[in-house]
Each structure stands twice: as C-alpha cells, then as structure tokens.
C-alpha cells in the first residue's frame, strides 16, 4: 500500500469523540515503552507524528491519523507502566476498553510486542482479551535491531508459539525495517476484500 497522504485529525479522551465519517480504523496498542510511537512515526514517514518520550506512559490520549483519505490509524495509550499515576491508569482502562468494544468503525487491532520480551503476562492477557472479543488482531514485533539475527529468530518463534499465531511481522524503527510488511498487513485488515491473504492468527 502506497501512503499518499497523512493527516493528524485529533486526540481524545473519549472513545465516542472520534471521527464520524464512517471510515474504517486500525488501532495500535502495546505495553508502555514497546516502541509504538516510534513505529507509528516510521510508518507515517514523519519525525513527530506521534509523541516519542523516554519516559513510558506519556501517550495518554486516543489519537487519530487519517491515511490516504480512506482509513484511520489510531494510536491508543500504552498499558502496564506502574509509575503512571493510579488515577490516570484507572481512566485509561475504561477508555481503551470502550474504544475497542464500542467503536463500530474499528476494523482490527495491531498488537505490538517487544521481541526481547515475548512472554510478558500483560501482552498475553491483552491477546487473550482481543481473541475473546473476536477482534481481528495483527501481531507486530518491535525493536528487532536490539537482537542479533539468531536470537531474533528464536524470539520470533517464541512469540508465534506463545500467541498461537503463524503470522508475525518483525520491525525495527531504528533500522527502518518492516514498513511495507506492516502496511500490507494493515491493508488486509482494513480492506479485507482487497487482501490476498489472512493475517489473523
């Protein structure tokens, strides 16, 4: 999929305060510090489309990016950072859950997993929750540049086994790897009639 246009639309604290034009949405979700903002900036070929911070837990809003005037890439707050204020964490949970369950334009979810930590319980819980609610899930491994090739292959195999999926997209924002594969996967979720393969594990 060729990215012809990217437009930042808005950020919201409410699931029902998003765009109302009926275009499909693909949500990006993952643990705090999984590299989600960096990956989004890499995908959109923008330096600062999504806010990147050295401190986990800084993305606290639902952010909507309009892609090619045809669908939305949605950046959801990261989960699992204990040092985030308790009041903030309590508000994130219902906000994310309501978005994922009630947003009728949601086509699917991209679950980001740090390839160095395939067995994090929070990621397993999120994957189970997404499957339980029958949400189409695209599995994306981040930070591939942090491991050597042999170790990276072993960790990728572990992710596939733990999350019971045969489809895993490996990426590295730092090394600019995996961009085309991610967009191809997103296209197959957002526009399934145009897809040539399934990415659902």
Q: Write the DSSP string, 16-57.
A: GGS--S---EEEEEEBTTSSHHHHHHHHHT-SSSS---SSTT
CATH code for the domain of 86: 3.40.50.300
Domain range for residue 111?
6-194
Q: Would you say residue 201 lies in a domain? A: no
The model carries a pTM of 0.87
CA distances from 183 to 8, 93, 147, 191 (A): 18, 27, 23, 11
pLDDT at 86: 56
Q: Would you say residue 57 lies in a domain? A: yes
pLDDT at 55: 44
Q: Would you say residue 81 lies in a domain? A: yes
Domain count, the chain: 1
Residuewise pLDDT in 10s, the chain (201 residues)? 889 999 999 999 899 999 999 999 999 999 988 999 999 999 998 876 654 444 444 457 899 999 999 999 999 988 876 555 555 555 567 889 999 999 999 999 999 999 999 999 999 999 999 999 999 999 999 999 999 999 999 999 999 999 999 999 999 999 999 999 999 999 999 998 765 443 343
Q: Would you say residue 62 lies in a domain? A: yes
- The two structure tokens encoding residue 97: 């859950």
Q: Would you say residue 1 lies in a domain? A: no
Separation between Cα atoms, residue 52 and residue 37, nearest integer Å: 6
106-114 β-sheet, strand order: 6-12, 62-67, 71-75, 25-30, 106-114, 137-142, 169-170
Q: Would you say residue 66 lies in a domain? A: yes
Q: Would you say residue 37 lies in a domain? A: yes
Q: Would you say residue 199 lies in a domain? A: no
């Amino acid at each position: 999929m060729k990215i012809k246009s990217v437009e930042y639309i808005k950020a919201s604290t409410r699931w029902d305060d998003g765009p109302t034009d009926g275009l499909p949405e693909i949500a990006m979700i993952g643990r705090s510090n999984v590299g989600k903002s960096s990956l989004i900036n890499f995908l959109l070929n923008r330096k600062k489309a999504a806010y990147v911070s050295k401190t986990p837990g800084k993305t606290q809003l639902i952010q909507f990016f309009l892609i090619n005037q045809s669908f939305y890439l949605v950046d959801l707050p990261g989960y699992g950072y204990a040092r985030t204020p308790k009041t903030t964490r309590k508000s994130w949970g219902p906000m994310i859950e309501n978005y994922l369950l009630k947003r009728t334009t949601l086509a699917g979810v991209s679950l980001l997993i740090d390839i160095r930590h395939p067995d994090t319980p929070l990621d397993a819980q999120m994957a189970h929750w997404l499957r339980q609610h029958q949400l189409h899930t695209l599995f994306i491994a981040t930070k591939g540049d942090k491991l050597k090739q042999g170790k990276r292959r072993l960790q990728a195999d572990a992710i596939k086994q733990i999350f019971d999926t045969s489809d895993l997209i490996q990426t590295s924002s730092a090394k600019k790897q995996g961009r085309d594969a991610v967009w191809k996967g997103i296209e197959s979720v957002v526009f399934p009639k145009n897809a040539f393969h399934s990415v659902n594990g």
